[in-house]
A and B are shown apart, each in its own frame.
Chain A
Amino acid sequence: MTIPSTETAQRTVTLDVRGQSCPMPVVRAAQAIRDLAAGDVLEILSTDRGSWSDIPTWAGTTGNELLERAEEDGVFRYLVRRTGGEGR
């Protein structure tokens, strides 16, 4: 489910939830970010249109930082930095 990548100094982990519907993008993101250290970035790929509002809401309520939100060819891409604490 998660593919580690070592392209940057801090770790970026990709979560691919393409094809999955609500509430899975948020649920899987919450599970994935538990395994990250503070400062690490979670990249989320989703095709669920509801995630456009749900992922920023989730990041906001959990105190994690939404770095980027973009749409390309029907795929929504988010970058969320884990800020520490419980993380969810």
Chain B
Amino acid sequence: MTEDATALLEAISEHTSEPEKADKLTIIAWSGELDRIWPTLILSTTARACGMEAAVFFTFWGLFPLVRPEKRLTGSDWMTRGLSLLNPGSPHRAKLSKYNFGGAGPWMLKRIAGKHKVPEPRELLTLSQDLGVRLLPCQMTMDLMGLGRDDLIDGLEEPVGAATALLEMKDSIHLFI
């Protein structure tokens, strides 16, 4: 870049009011898939470590990683119970969005991650809670999928609705994962 261009850019940046920097990260965790919930937890945990506020709103399939690991069957009727068998909860049962191969894919990915000492989603959930990431379950999804508060892990905030999720996203970096 020429000196003229550099000087011009500097002059422009001086006259452009800098947008206010968001100091908060809000993630809408919509997918319960392993390769989505994993980066969601890495980013939100790191945001807290870096002093940012962080909140994750778990909705639709994204709610299932919050199911207690020992809960294999959830649901309030035959449909939601059947759903819980097809779509088991807890991150250690989560499927990959591609190359799942009936569970072989997640097994291999976790094995590789273990070699590189990347923490698994279950450990990241604990870490995120320790660092103060606010975990917000979606009340409507809980009703829809037949998930009670007892089906979900401890340390979550009270279940909320869409308006609260929108409020969390205000003045915040927000991602839909």
Is there contact, CB below 8 Å, between A30 and B119? no
Query: What residues of chain A lie closer than 8 Å to B45, measured between beta carbons?
Result: 23, 27
Closest to B128 in A: A27
Query: What residues of chain A lie closer than 8 Å to B119, measured between beta carbons?
Result: 24
B130 CB–A CB distance under 8 Å: yes
Binding site for A on B (CB under 8 A): 42, 45-46, 48-52, 116-119, 127, 130-131
Is there contact, CB below 8 Å, between B51 and A57? no
Query: What residues of chain A lie closer than 8 Å to B50, measured between beta carbons?
Result: 26, 30, 57-58, 61-62, 88
Knowing A22-B42, A23-B42 touch, does A30 contact B48 (C-beta < 8 A)?
A: yes
Binding site for B on A (CB under 8 A): 19-24, 26-27, 29-31, 57-58, 61-63, 86, 88
Query: What residues of chain A lie closer than 8 Å to B117, measured between beta carbons?
Result: 19-21, 24
Is there contact, CB below 8 Å, between A86 and B116? no
Ordered by A's residue number, 23 sampled pairs between the chains whose C-beta atoms are within 8 Å are A21-B116, A21-B118, A22-B42, A22-B118, A23-B42, A23-B45, A23-B49, A24-B118, A27-B46, A27-B49, A27-B127, A30-B48, A30-B49, A30-B50, A58-B49, A58-B50, A61-B50, A61-B51, A62-B50, A86-B51, A88-B49, A88-B50, A88-B131
Closest to A19 in B: B117
Is there contact, CB below 8 Å, between A31 and B42? no
Report the minimum CB–CB distance from B64 to chain A (whole Å). Answer: 23
By CB atoms of chain B within 10 A, which of A19, A24, A26 has the most?
A24
Bound CA span A29–B116, Å: 18
Query: What residues of chain A lie closer than 8 Å to B51, measured between beta carbons?
Result: 61-63, 86, 88
Query: What residues of chain B lie closer than 8 Å to A61, measured between beta carbons?
Result: 50-52
Report the minimum CB–CB distance from B122 to chain A (whole Å). Answer: 15
Is there contact, CB below 8 Å, between B49 and A26? yes
Report the minimum CB–CB distance from B32 to chain A (whole Å). Answer: 21
Closest to B130 in A: A31
